[in-house]
Structure 1
Amino acid sequence: MTTEQRQVGNLPQSRTETVGRAAELAEIERLFEESSPEGPVRLVTLTGVGGVGKTRVALDAAAALQPRFRDGAWLVELSPLRQGALLAHTIAETLPLADQTTRPMIDVLAEYLAERELLLVLDTCEHLTDACALAAEALMRAAPGLRILATSRRILDVVGERVLIIEPLPVPEVDDARAGTADAVVLLILRAQEAVPGFTVTDADRADLVRLCRRLDGLPLAIELAAARLRDLPVRELTARLDDRFAVLGDTDGVAHDAEPPWHQALRTAIGWSHQLCTPAERLLWARLSVFAGSFDADRVRQVCADDHLPARQIPAVLGTLVEKSILIWQPTGGGERYRMLDTLREYGAHWLRGLGEEDTLRRRHRDHYLALARRGDAAWIGPYQFAWFDRMTAEHDNLRAALDCSLTESEGRSEGHIALEMAAALWFFWQECGFVREGRHYLDLALATDTAPSPARVKALYACGLVLLYLGDPPALEERAAECTALAAYFGDTERSYAAATGLRASVMSGDLEQAVSRAEALLATDWRERTLTLIPLSALVLLTHSLVTVGRFEEAFAWLDELSAAGERSGERSMCAWGDFVRAEAELALGRFPEAQERARAALLVKHRLRDGVGTGLALEVLARAAAATGRHQDAAWLLGLAAQLWETLGRPQPGSPAVNAARQVCERRTRETLGEDAYRHAFDAGRTTDLNTGIAHALDPAAAPPLLR
């Protein structure tokens, strides 16, 4: 049997060489090996001033430790996160654990980690220390195989926490011949060679390089900023200018310092000096970029940051020069070029933005841009560009959160809360179709509680709640939201009444009243929807109707409606709901004993659902393939596919999803396969599927000819 190992982490590969830090890495390793009467060390926090390189040390340490952890090392980037309430969601999404239950996410995480041996790297905790401390305590209590490596300017203050202060790189006190081999000087030379093609060090330069590193106190970020300036200035002049800047600055650099983070003076001086040497356009863009969370692309920057003072046509060039000056990090991706800014530099830009009196204006422009993006995605999702919209919106996840948080936290009246309500509702497709149903419920509940006035936006938000609650499997909450949606929609127009009818249909399906579900779906489809622009409502009604008909054995009626769904998909180019139609058709073909047809439809559903990271759809399609394999005597294949599906269900937080009929069919398949193979052979094949890399396993399931021997 051939298996591929599961993914064992998400640590990024370093783009540049690490200099020094051998002692720190050895100490981290020693701390995790240390034991006390209370047990082994479970949590190590790296602390130190901004720009000292805590993240780099943590990533290097995690890479070295990863082989010791059966389930890998996972980096959780907390810098873009502003709400402690979403900390557990963020950890889960990283692992990945796309939970789709109603249990508290911290409990789901604890259960997921309980039997795992895993290193969690919580990076940049200082703005969420209370939430991080509570989460660390809960997770370590539940998961004895878990170790946590945190980076923070403030310790987490958790019992058993070991703290390692990351100091600046050593700089020699004298300019002798050995000074050029000091870590700080080596780092400066390496980064200068990366920034300036052909850069070399002469004997005359060495003393200036050492003096420059000493002036910057060996802080890696300050050194990297200085290295970027060597494009424009020789070493001696650069050092002289920095000396002048220290003399002029004293304790201030012109930035408003109320509530200032505890920056080291050398770092603040280096940043302020780099800032002073930027052009006015570069300084202005640096400040305005601080409103973005996570990464961003040039198009978003143009739309949020451009105005008469910073024309849109200048934006690409200014982004490029900020990359050259090490203010921005350029990140090429499959979807195009993106940029990000280190936290310390973002904080500096935010101080300048506040000093310019633009902070509120730019945050609202950022919020309004992402509201407009959500509206466009809402309008375009049912169409031929779903995959492109999926990629676009998942790339902007951090910024969507920031825009929603802005609306929810700034509100001093109805208008701000109403924007949050409209945006959370418009993002229904992001919550349901892109795999963020738990987060969708979080934001929808907050928005509905913030703006309680009757409005069409509230009706739509209640409808969006119905979408996520069906996925989460919460019948009481769905019934409650459906009742309010129906009562409120009566005061508005046809669109709102259709939202209410669709939400009621979901409640019927959730309650198991399939006859009522059929009646409600047929009522929704007894309109002229075929002549109108296609929306989610008739598509989802077709899926829920055909599912109900197949469940009660009315196959011919189901096939007729499935043909309607296929035709609608061909006209519009829609993929996601049509993939649900493929799954329903596969279920019907399986029930009728037409196994090749069932496999063909299940693979069609699997292809789309996996591309959209729809865990429920992916798992259900895999189980249809397993049942078809068992029905045709390929019991080893069936066990392997059941194991692959079980691996996926673990990431969703519910091991047996689906309707009662689907659950019953799964159990029958498991029992018969186990009886046919015998316990040992069944467990061998099942475990092979469960430990195969999920993406590799799904690729095999989609193309049997390329599958390992077990699936041939």
Structure 2
Amino acid sequence: MEPNTPKRRAAHGLPSDVTSFVGRRHEIAEVKALLAKSRLVTLTGFGGVGKTRLASRTAMEVQRAFADGVWFVDLSAMSDPGMLAPALMEVLEVEEQSNRQPIEPVAEYLADKKGLLILDNCEHLLQDCAILAELLLAGADGLRIIATSREPLRIAGERTMVVHPLPVPDSAADLSPQALAEVDAVRLFLERAEAVVPGFAITEANRDAVEQICRRLDGIPLAIELAAVRLRALSVHQLVDRLEDRFKMLTTGSRTATRRQQTLRALVDWSYALCTAPQRLLWARASVFHGGLDLSAAEAVCAGDGIAAEDVLDLISGLVEKSVLVREEHEGQVRYRLLDTVREYGLDRLAESGGQQEMRRRHREFYRGLARLAGGPALGGEQALLLRRLRLDHANLRAALRSALEEGDPEDGLRMAVDLLYHWRMSNQIREGRRWLQAGLARVTGPCETRGWALAGASWLAIMMGDVPAAVAMTDEARRLGERLRLGHLLAYVALYAGMACVHQDEIPTAVKLYEEALAAHRAAGDERGEVVTLTRLCMTYDRYGDPRRGVAAGEEAVRICDARGEGWHRSYAVMALGVVAWRQGEITRATALEKETLRHTSALGDRAGMGIAMEVLAWISASKGDPERAATLLGALRTLWRRAEAPLMQYGNLVRYHEQCEARIRDCLGEPAFLAALEQGARLSFDEALAYAMEERTPDGRAPKALEAARASPLTRRETEIAGLVAEGLSNKAIAARLVIAQRTAEGHIEHILSKLGFHSRAQIAVWVAEQDRLGVS
């Protein structure tokens, strides 16, 4: 949906649509629902997001419910509050009465009416609009009001709805041009671009550029429209290059729009002018954050020099109300985010004030402190909570690391990357963590303790990625440094990671010796976390060495240490290791219970690698129990999970052989077609569905999990199911179009939707899916 296009008055007083209306079906339904509950609904949101068009379109759809009319009052150009009532009189066609205040005949006229009044652009007359709305609603029981404003009116009975930007393409999704064109922000850009450049279309050659434009402009409709206008003189690729300075670039709006809607800078200037001086200062300082911030971060970084720490909460609340900060809730934590356009504007203001370097330093120091806490050796439940918080602050950590390595002390930056080792692991950012460590090692080349820790940490990440030769080289150098500098604590971890590398190389006796060396050194250093990790590895390695009794003892000791400290994450891995040993010893019931316990905890933490290991063992257990189809389905789900976890099963080198043995066994039992069908069925499961299936959460009557039933049921429409069948028959797009007497482009669009719904990337996958649906009897 797009705002502030040229408009002419329609008979009902609403601005007429002279351009197409894009998206917003859900939002329209929500506004309707709010109108049914409240007599005043205020649509809030940042400038240019489309509040006016949403209010108008909703009014058009509900006008039949208002027998006496729908009235639209545009306040955008009004600067004198005294003109509010006269503007209403004009729209309502109420005659002025010289002996009365203008609002009196307006209230009298509306008193017995059943109507809808839209007060558009209230933010600069907020108090006066609030008084007006309250007065009119008090005297007219049949009146409803929709107000649009960058902040709420804040009167009794008001319901507010934040109007967000249009959805933009997911940066992780690899969408075809046809699928990309269905994303609302892209569809708006495409329609406006076609108006400027007839015949413009999204192609394989320009789709990445179009996607970047829509994402970098935050899906703000006005910004997208201003960008599309520039296609008169530029290609989409040239436009992307010039969006580095979006405020200079996007300056050609509609001549009939208000001045502040004609350029992107004027739009944001208007929001800035509505803020108080302290709010403007906080806006500028908050722009140093990347991807969002929470209250504690704002208080630590933004307070001081004009902002008292105790005032930060009120200032944030004010910026949220003014739609400058976007309030979001993640995993029970409230965070705040600046749209990229708003953040860039704030950075410009911060640079003008000369405070940019100081804010970057404060930002760096704050996140350096969080990393230091995460890197400590203490074992406890608090660490898991901190790691969850760091996952939300990943973009800020990245910025702080870059700042530390390039602007601060490189050694401190390298130590920060080391302290974040468990963050890289927990947040599934193994590759990125290794890159940061390598970047720091390239800067810190002298024989110092920090370099030793970085080499050890990088070797662990390399092992997770299966790069064992690189890991061995780094542990060798770290050992030499540790011995030279007499760093016993470092040497404990070097022995631990060297033992992991030996397991990968099938050098089990050497691995056991190194793990035992690491265990003794961790105990000497009082490092319980290192002790638990080493015991967990010993649990499985003793079993592989032919001594399962000692393996069980090591795993149980790790669990006891974790229980004494209230630690759950490391405990889940010790439980997983005990489950592997139990399965290897034929204790199927115990092994299943242990792996489900691991799965429950790791899924709650969002630890994909931990989930993957537990599901792997459950697949092996299923194969051992004589249920090859279930085992294959779990392995199918795991293919997707391991790819997303960035830490494949190879991080536990001794477990890879069990996976290979399991796959060979169920392939032989099922035969190739049934095996591939079961894999595809598993690959189609969502995260929640795979979890439910792995946990065997059955309904009371013993049916399969609802999640799996849903996965087996076709998500396609009747027409899409028909076309999927024709694809399975081997028909080309042209042949399908001829068979169904539809345009070839229509057939291609249906196939794109089928691929998107099923999460597939090829026609061959559709054919396999159709065969499986036929086998299951699903229509």
Q: 1:399 aligns with which of 396, 401, 408?
A: 396
Residue of structure 2 equivalent to 1:709: 704
Counterpart code for 2:397: L
Q: Percent identity?
A: 29
The 3-state SS of whatever aligns with 1:152 is helix
In structure 1, distance between residues paired with 2:647 and 2:703: 28
Residue of structure 2 equivalent to 1:167: 226
Residue of structure 2 equivalent to 1:7: none
Q: 1:286 aligns with which of 283, 288, 296?
A: 283
Counterpart code for 1:215: R
1:633 shift after superposition: 2.3
Cα 1:656/1:269, change in 2 over 3 Å: closer
Residue of structure 2 equivalent to 1:215: 259
The 3-state SS of whatever aligns with 1:332 is strand
Query: Contact between 1:627 and 1:638, CA under 8 Å: does it hold in 2?
Result: yes
Residue 507 (structure 1) aligned with residue 496 (structure 2): no
Q: What are the within-5 Å matches in structure 2 for residues 421-432 of structure 1?
A: 421-432=414-425
1:560 shift after superposition: 1.3
Cα 1:606/1:674, change in 2 over 3 Å: same
Calculate the aligned-residue CA RMSD, in Å. Answer: 4.2
In structure 2, distance between residues paired with 1:547 and 1:21: 69
In structure 1, distance between residues paired with 2:564 and 2:648: 36
- Structure with larger RCO (C-alpha < 8 A, sep 6+): 1
1:511 shift after superposition: 3.0
1:448 shift after superposition: 1.2
Query: Contact between 1:367 and 1:404, CA under 8 Å: does it hold in 2?
Result: yes
In structure 2, distance between residues paired with 1:212 and 1:624: 66
Corresponding pairs, count = 514
Q: 1:495 aligns with which of 484, 489, 493?
A: 489
- Higher-Rg structure is 2
Q: 2:361 aligns with which of 360, 364, 368?
A: 364
Q: 2:338 aligns with which of 331, 338, 341?
A: 341
Residue of structure 2 equivalent to 1:88: none
Q: What are the within-5 Å matches in structure 2 for residues 65-84 of structure 1?
A: none
In structure 2, distance between residues paired with 1:521 and 1:289: 47
1:469 shift after superposition: 1.3
In structure 2, distance between residues paired with 1:616 and 1:116: 33
Query: Contact between 1:432 and 1:467, CA under 8 Å: does it hold in 2?
Result: no
Residue of structure 1 equivalent to 2:582: 589
Residue 567 (structure 1) aligned with residue 560 (structure 2): yes
The 3-state SS of whatever aligns with 1:705 is coil
Which stretch of the first structure deviates more once superposed, 310-319 or 690-699?
690-699
Cα 1:573/1:322, change in 2 over 3 Å: same
Cα 1:708/1:390, change in 2 over 3 Å: farther
1:147 shift after superposition: 7.6
In structure 1, distance between residues paired with 2:511 and 2:584: 21
Residue of structure 2 equivalent to 1:254: none
1:306 shift after superposition: 0.6
Residue 433 (structure 1) aligned with residue 426 (structure 2): yes
Query: Contact between 1:550 and 1:584, CA under 8 Å: does it hold in 2?
Result: no
The 3-state SS of whatever aligns with 2:376 is helix
Residue of structure 1 equivalent to 2:516: 522
1:394 shift after superposition: 0.9
Residue of structure 1 equivalent to 2:410: 417
1:25 shift after superposition: 5.8
In structure 2, distance between residues paired with 1:361 and 1:567: 47
Query: Contact between 1:374 and 1:426, CA under 8 Å: does it hold in 2?
Result: yes
In structure 2, distance between residues paired with 1:659 and 1:322: 48
In structure 1, distance between residues paired with 2:561 and 2:4: 54
**TM-score using structure 1 length:** 0.64
Residue of structure 2 equivalent to 1:442: 435
Q: What are the within-5 Å matches in structure 2 for residues 82-97 of structure 1?
A: 91=171, 94=172
In structure 2, distance between residues paired with 1:650 and 1:663: 15
In structure 1, distance between residues paired with 2:640 and 2:589: 25
Counterpart code for 1:702: M
Cα 1:691/1:662, change in 2 over 3 Å: same
The 3-state SS of whatever aligns with 1:310 is coil
Cα 1:482/1:21, change in 2 over 3 Å: farther
1:366 shift after superposition: 0.2
Which stretch of the first structure deviates more once superposed, 534-543 or 269-278?
269-278
Counterpart code for 1:542: L
Counterpart code for 1:483: D
The 3-state SS of whatever aligns with 1:709 is coil
Counterpart code for 1:495: H
The 3-state SS of whatever aligns with 1:339 is strand
Residue of structure 1 equivalent to 2:42: none
In structure 2, distance between residues paired with 1:368 and 1:489: 28
In structure 2, distance between residues paired with 1:648 and 1:629: 19
Residue of structure 2 equivalent to 1:451: 444
In structure 1, distance between residues paired with 2:301 and 2:663: 54
- Residue by residue over 1:120-166, the C-alpha shift from the partner in whole angstroms, topping out at 9 and shown as x without a partner, is 98999xxxxxxxxxxxxxxx99x99x98741339999xxxxxxx973
Residue of structure 2 equivalent to 1:676: 669
In structure 2, distance between residues paired with 1:565 and 1:17: 64
- Residue by residue over 1:67-87, the C-alpha shift from the partner in whole angstroms, topping out at 9 and shown as x without a partner, is xxxxxx99567xxxxxxxxxx
Residue of structure 1 equivalent to 2:213: 152
Cα 1:640/1:407, change in 2 over 3 Å: same
- Residue by residue over 1:221-247, the C-alpha shift from the partner in whole angstroms, topping out at 9 and shown as x without a partner, is xxxxxxxxxxxxxxxxxxxxxxxxxxx
Counterpart code for 1:564: E
In structure 2, distance between residues paired with 1:456 and 1:270: 52
In structure 1, distance between residues paired with 2:516 and 2:184: 50
1:401 shift after superposition: 0.8
Query: Contact between 2:295 and 2:335, CA under 8 Å: does it hold in 1?
Result: yes
In structure 1, distance between residues paired with 2:280 and 2:559: 54
1:298 shift after superposition: 1.2
**TM-score using structure 2 length:** 0.59
Residue 385 (structure 1) aligned with residue 382 (structure 2): yes
- Residue by residue over 1:45-95, the C-alpha shift from the partner in whole angstroms, topping out at 9 and shown as x without a partner, is xxxxx98669xx9xxxxxxxxxxxxxxx99567xxxxxxxxxxxxx5xx45
The 3-state SS of whatever aligns with 2:698 is helix
Residue of structure 1 equivalent to 2:629: 636
In structure 2, distance between residues paired with 1:572 and 1:601: 20
Instruction: Identify unmatched segments of 5+ residues in structure 2.
Output: 6-14, 24-45, 54-165, 187-201, 218-222, 230-253, 710-779
Residue 646 (structure 1) aligned with residue 639 (structure 2): yes
Residue 471 (structure 1) aligned with residue 464 (structure 2): yes
Residue 299 (structure 1) aligned with residue 296 (structure 2): yes
- Residue by residue over 1:464-505, the C-alpha shift from the partner in whole angstroms, topping out at 9 and shown as x without a partner, is 212211211111211121112111112143323333333333
Counterpart code for 2:225: I
Q: 2:535 aligns with which of 504, 528, 542?
A: 542
Cα 1:461/1:527, change in 2 over 3 Å: closer
1:625 shift after superposition: 1.0
Q: What are the within-5 Å matches in structure 2 for residues 322-337 of structure 1?
A: 322-337=319-334
Cα 1:612/1:683, change in 2 over 3 Å: same
